[in-house]
Amino acid sequence: MQNILSRKSVRSYTNRPVSRAQLDTLVRAAMAAPTGMDTRPWKFVVIDDKNAMQQLAAELPRAKMLAEAQAAIAVCGDMSVLSKDGKPSRNWMLDCSAATENLLLQAEAMGLGAVWTAGYPYPDRMEAIKSALSLPDHIIPLNLIPIGYPKGDPQPKDKYNKDNIHYNKW
C-alpha cells in the first residue's frame, strides 16, 4: 500500500543513468498485468537513445521532459493479436493501461521517477510516436513513459475522496 500511495508523476530528472537491466525489470512488471482472456495485446518499445528522445520531446508538446529523461518506454497495443473468436482485441487499451500502471508502480519501488504521457487517442501524438519509433501499422502507441531518477523531492498527491465512494447503491 505504501508504494501505491507514494507513486507520483515525475517530470524532471537527474543525469544519473538508468540501466537496461532496470528497464527490463520495468517491462517485466508491466507484463505481469491482468489481460482480458489472456490475450496480452501489448508491445513495448524501450528507448535509451538520447537522439530519439530529443526528437520525441521536440514533436510532443506534452512530453518535453523526454529531453531530460534517461530512458522511455512506449506502451503499445498490437492489433495483430487476435482473441479466441479471431478478432483484434477490443480491450487492448485497458490491458495496456493495466500494464502501464504496473510499470509506474515498479518504477516507484525502484526509486525511479516516471510519468504517463498520452499517445492514444490523439492522432497527432500517435503519429509522432509511430514515426519516431518506426512502428508498423498494426502497433498503436497508447502512451510514452519518460523514466529517470527524480530531480528534487517530488511529492505524491492525496487523491482519496470519500465522496467518490458509494456502497451497494448510488
Confidence class for position 84, pLDDT limits 50, 70, 90: confident
Q: Is the pLDDT of residue 89 over 90?
A: no
Domain borders along the chain are 2-149
Parallel/antiparallel/unpaired status of strands 117-118 and 113-114: unpaired
Q: Give me the helices (H) in the chain, please.
A: 2-6, 20-30, 50-59, 92-109, 123-133
pLDDT value at residue 88: 85
Confidence class for position 164, pLDDT limits 50, 70, 90: very high
Q: Which residue has the higher pLDDT, 86 or 22?
A: 22
Pick the CATH number of 2-149 from 3.40.109.10, 2.60.40.3080, 1.10.10.10, 2.60.40.10: 3.40.109.10
Which tens digit of pLDDT belongs to each residue from 56-82?
999 999 999 999 999 999 999 999 999
